[in-house]
A and B are shown apart, each in its own frame.
Chain A
Amino acid sequence: MTHPLPGPLLQMTGMTKQYPGCLANDAVNLTVERNQIHALLGENGAGKSTLVKMIYGVTRPDAGTVIWDGAKVTIANPHQAQRLGIGMVFQHFSLFETLTVAENIALGLGSAAERVGLRERILRISTEYGLPLEPDRVVHDLSVGERQRIEIVRCLLQNPKLLIMDEPTSVLTPNEAQALFGTLRRLAAEGCSILYISHKLEEVRALCSVATIMRQGRNVASCRPAEKTVRELAEIMIAADLSTPTPRPARVGTARPRLVLDRLTVRSPHQFGTDLKDISLSVAGGEILGIAGIAGNGQNELMDALSGEILAGRPETIWLDGQPAGHLGPRERRLAGGCFIPEERNGHGAVTTMTLAENALLSGFGQGGLVRFGLIDVGRTVAFAERIISRFDVRTSGAQAEARSLSGGNLQKFLVGREVLQDPGVLIINQPTWGVDAGAALAIHEAIMALARQGAAVLVISQDLDEVFVLADQVAVIAGGRLSAPVPTGSVTVEDMGRLMGGAAHAEV
């Protein structure tokens, strides 16, 4: 492609957006050159999403100038953004599971005329850019990687000049991610710039030629990521020296098992969920078992089966501290020494419209005399919440703040603290640092390791391989509802794990 006008593709200056009680963007500048893969980095809450939403016309800026392709524009809505040549692939896909690939793409098109020859165009684009797709497959049969390809093809049909990718690899296997990078490089070479948002600094170093780094709603730096180390990039992002978590001493396998699963088989209550098949494992006191896997391979079902939200058929399939627990509800499992932290904070691990004190009660009502004779002891409940807040450095106005007023990272710290302070014998945690900034992630990792040092058995389910490797003594992979045999962390490589995650997922019928 050739352009009549030289100069950058997109130039934004002084972009400002004020939300109630929060200046999300404060005079932010961003320049994306043609043929460039440009990284947008920052912690959660740094203002990346706000900036991107302004580019895509979802949010109107309060102030700022946007120069697109050499002309000043106001982007009023996503439709206009698409007409200008801006496409966006969101972190959460908007696909109808019961429709085919082609039908899903057709739904996104503006007029009937655009549907002419759609199948052929889908096939042409998907082969040209290395995005294999079968137009007639039904979406609910597809892996997350394939679903992402639908979204990308949907954007490419509009011939975009700029493609915005929001955390695209968070749901991909290492192999799928490599394939995606190939596609993105090819797109950039052919004249479609990429704005790439990611937490994964290693990827950004490999893929992106320029990075804009944001912190607290402002630009803080612009650099060539390849010239910096991951650590340096992270330090610019959070403006602090990162201390790595203390390496864990190798465990001697003499401690008694505190969590045992014996051929756990559970049907998923959800129509397109994943059934759990014959899952067996054993976690000793002081040990951390990490379960890696791509989203949607049974992690949520496993979490619910362990917390007691789904009951297992036989009591003897789950043992908590030597007690058969498969038939017990969440309440009884907590009494047996279990504590649980689900992936979803809003409306699952916490009630967003309730105060932190009330949220402390949500899983803590059985402990520490918070409830006596059915009456809530408000004083003790508030004190418990305040203890969590101070011990885990939760940034909030206090125990009476509503949970929804906290950022994702702070709420997660609170929820981890709520369970850890109940001194569990067995802690089960799903996606401990999902959508959490680097500082909070470190604090959460340290809390998990400290708990294990005190002798608790910890099961960590995570899609973040790095996290699994940092935390776990033993690792296993969940794919298609089956669990691979746990092996010591030192004996496998990231590539081995990636193959297990991807291979098994595709072999699943």
Chain B
Amino acid sequence: MLKFEPRGAESPFWRYAAPVLALLLTGVTAGLIFAVMGRPPGRTVYTLLVAPLLQQDGLEALVVKAAPLILMGVGLSLAYRANVWNIGTDGQFTLGAICGGGVGLAFPDAPAWALYPLMLLAGAAGGMASGGVVAWLRVRFNANEILTSLMFAYITQYLLVWLVTGPWRDPMGFGFPQTALFSDAAQAPRLIAETNVHLGIALAPLAALALWVMLEKTLLGFQFRVLGQAARAARFAGFRETRLIWVAMLISGGLAGLAGLLEVTGTLGQLTTTLSPGYGFTAIIVAFLGRLSPLGVVPAGLLLALTYLGGDAAQINLGLPNAITGIFQGILLFYLLGCDILLNNRLRWRRRGPVPT
């Protein structure tokens, strides 16, 4: 009989091996699903995970997709370590895009040196406002942040739809639900000319590094970790839970808002009714795949970005439905959480039946 036995202490090996195992199991399971659908599993997985990288602009597309995932995943890894379950980063992303993008649309003639920093600030502030409301509801009314943050994500989405189909709709846009294009000054600065590699691609790893230092090396980060692992011990130490909840929601919300602003000014160039293909939810998987470590989030973000590219490729080349990306991500999260049991337990064969005498 297979049995789990407690190890007594967390295994350092499985800390890193568990995500790899989860990834392998995801590949096998996805392959089985493809086989059942009558597709060659090997070629399909190849199209999903390898082929996108071999294309001409493969790497560029990858980092552009990964940047918002990493920015949001980094903030989430901090919040989740403190047991603050912000599920609504998608809404914070959107509100950041609305606020920052709104500033850009309001001043089409402003010079870039003044306008873009202001847009960045407005984007971060929008995300922080969205996260702050959630924090306030939790602290003031003890409202569960999982529910409130998720509900705000829907509210924000409808706000966006209303804006781009109503007051902010481009009068010259032939009635399409979208705003005017941002002025050149309101575009994210490019790190490499003539490409989509924008400012966000540099900010994402910097944010990861900064939050890693904060979480692992500072007293503030220690407070988050204690709160997440033993809330009573945090009270005993005198760490103020309400303050930590505020900080966690403001940072994760602010980074999501920044990601939203960078996404609309870096790749889309205008506001439309669909800004995020579920980035906020994918970022949850990114945070867990990265073991809730801000540094681990970087490779995790790249991998999940690849599933988006692979999903597109599979749709175009193999005629698979676009839902394949969501399925793949869902299976991955399932195995990730499942494989974590190996951290504190080992698998043992045990004989059933009477105890030997």
**A contacts, CB < 8 Å to B:** 19-21, 60-65, 74, 307-309, 329-334, 340, 342, 344, 347-354, 358, 361-363, 365, 371, 374-376, 402, 404-405
Contact = CB atoms under 8 A, between A and B. Distances in A.
Given A74-B354, A352-B230, A402-B9, A330 B219 contact: no
A361 B222 contact: yes
Contact of A362 (B5, B236, B240, B357): B236
B235 interface: yes
Contact of A64 (B7, B229, B357): B357
A375 B218 contact: yes
A330 B229 contact: no
A319 B235 CA distance: 21
| List of 9 A-B pairs having minimum Cβ-Cβ separation, nearest first | A331-B238, A330-B238, A347-B230, A351-B230, A348-B232, A371-B219, A351-B233, A362-B237, A309-B235
Contacts of A21: 8
The range of chain B's interface size is 20 to 34
Contacts of A348: 230, 232-233, 236
A74 to B, nearest CB: 5
B99 to A, nearest CB: 30
A353 B238 contact: no
Contacts of A365: 219, 222, 237
Given A329-B240, A348-B232, A361-B222, 12 more contacts: A20-B6, A342-B236, A347-B230, A348-B230, A349-B236, A351-B229, A352-B230, A365-B237, A375-B217, A376-B219, A376-B222, A405-B8
B226 interface: yes
Nearest to A342: B236
Interface string B218-257: 1110100110011011011111100000000000000000
A63 B229 contact: no
Interface string B1-39: 000011111100000000000000000000000000000
A63 B236 contact: no
A60 B217 contact: no
Nearest to B8: A20
B53 to A, nearest CB: 38
A60 B355 contact: yes
A148 B21 CA distance: 49
B8 to A, nearest CB: 5
Contacts of B357: 63-65
B167 interface: no
Given A350-B233, A353-B229, A362-B226, A20 B5 contact: yes
B356 interface: yes
B237 A363 contact: yes
Contact of A376 (B5, B7, B217, B239): B217
A307 B234 CA distance: 13
Contacts of A344: 232
Contacts of A376: 217-219, 222
Contacts of A342: 236
A150 B232 CA distance: 31
Nearest to B240: A329
Contacts of B218: 374-376
B5 to A, nearest CB: 6
A63 B356 contact: yes
Contacts of A329: 238, 240
A354 B219 contact: no
28 contacts: A19-B8, A60-B355, A64-B355, A307-B236, A308-B238, A309-B235, A329-B238, A330-B235, A330-B238, A331-B239, A344-B232, A347-B230, A348-B232, A348-B236, A349-B233, A351-B226, A351-B233, A354-B226, A354-B229, A362-B226, A363-B236, A365-B222, A374-B219, A374-B220, A375-B217, A404-B8, A404-B9, A405-B8
Contacts of B356: 63
B233 A362 contact: yes
Interface in B201-220: 217-220
Contacts of B233: 347-351, 362
Nearest to B237: A362
A330 B233 CA distance: 11
A20 B7 contact: yes
Contact of A332 (B229, B237, B238): B238
Nearest to A353: B229
Interface in B312-357: 346, 354-357
A376 B216 CA distance: 9
Contacts of B229: 351, 353-354
B220 to A, nearest CB: 6
Contacts of B222: 358, 361, 365, 376
Given A362-B236, A376-B217, A62 B355 contact: yes
A405 B236 contact: no
A484 B9 CA distance: 45
Contacts of B230: 347-348, 351-353
Nearest to B344: A353
Contacts of B240: 329
A330 B236 contact: yes
A376 B225 CA distance: 13
Nearest to B236: A348
Contacts of A362: 226, 233, 236-237
B156 to A, nearest CB: 33
B241 to A, nearest CB: 11
Given A61-B355, A362-B233, A365-B219, A334 B7 contact: no
B11 to A, nearest CB: 11
Nearest to A74: B354
Given A20-B6, A375-B217, A376-B219, A330 B232 contact: no
A74 B355 contact: yes
Contacts of A375: 217-219
A329 B225 CA distance: 20
Nearest to A308: B238
A350 B236 CA distance: 9
